[in-house]
Amino acid sequence: MIQAAAPRLVLASASTTRRALLDSAGLRFEAVPAAVDEAAIKEAAQAEGFPPADAALLLADAKASRVARRDPDALVIGCDQLLVCEGRWYDKPPDIPAARAQLLALRGRAHELVTAVVCHRHGGRIWQHVAVPRLVMREFSDEFLAAYLAIEGEALLGSVGAYRLEATGAHLFTRLQGDHAAILGLPLLELLAFLRQHGVLLE
């Protein structure tokens, strides 16, 4: 067994992709979605001039902190991801027309996925990390976009980029720079390294 019996791991997220990443690493954990007002936190961060990395950390910390207050003995993992293209921050699209508009705005351009992970235990933050993968979207046709939206449907609405690299989203890109797991929403290798240093996993 590579994982210690204690502390228990809790993922403060409803993301099926992040759960799948931890599952793929063989970790035992509980997923507990954190009820935080992400839009309000992001709006305040932008109003105060926070850089994207600080805003992503703020959001990840809010999620981990909320869940950790109810379970202080657990090691709680909070994550968040911001998409930044030419200075503009993008949110998860609320519907298919918004997803189409977002993909058109990203078409032919490079963007960054600012991906933060924070760990809390015993009432405080004990670790944090930010990864910034860079992706270049190709100049796809309107016909391709219509077909892509028809295939993916509402599954796109759960992604800040309106694409899923774990599905057919790879067809949108010409270049990906950065760790694949971080692109999906969780810098897994860095998290595993921290868990080994913290005694949760065997060295």
Catalytic residue among 80, 91, 95, 179: 80
For every residue of 122-183, DSSP letters joined together read TTEEEEEEEE--EEEE----HHHHHHHHHHHGGGGGGSTTS--TTTGGGGGEEEEES-HHHH
Q: Using CA atoms, how far apart are residues 90 and 156, in angstroms rounded to an integer?
A: 14
Q: Is 80 a catalytic site residue?
A: yes
**CATH code at 186?**
3.90.950.10
Instruction: Tell me, yes or no, whether 171 lies in a domain.
Output: yes
Q: What does the pLDDT read at residue 121?
A: 96
Q: What does the pLDDT read at residue 1?
A: 62
Instruction: Tell me, yes or no, whether 62 lies in a domain.
Output: yes
Amino acid identity of 174?
A: T
Cis status, amide bond into 33, omega within 30 of 0: no
Sign of the dihedral defined by the CA atoms of residues 21, 89, 69, 15, in that order: negative
pTM for this predicted structure: 0.93
Query: Average of pLDDT values for 73-85?
Result: 97
Residues of the domain holding 39: 9-197
What is the tens place of the pLDDT at every residue in 135-179?
999 999 999 999 999 999 999 999 999 999 988 999 999 999 999
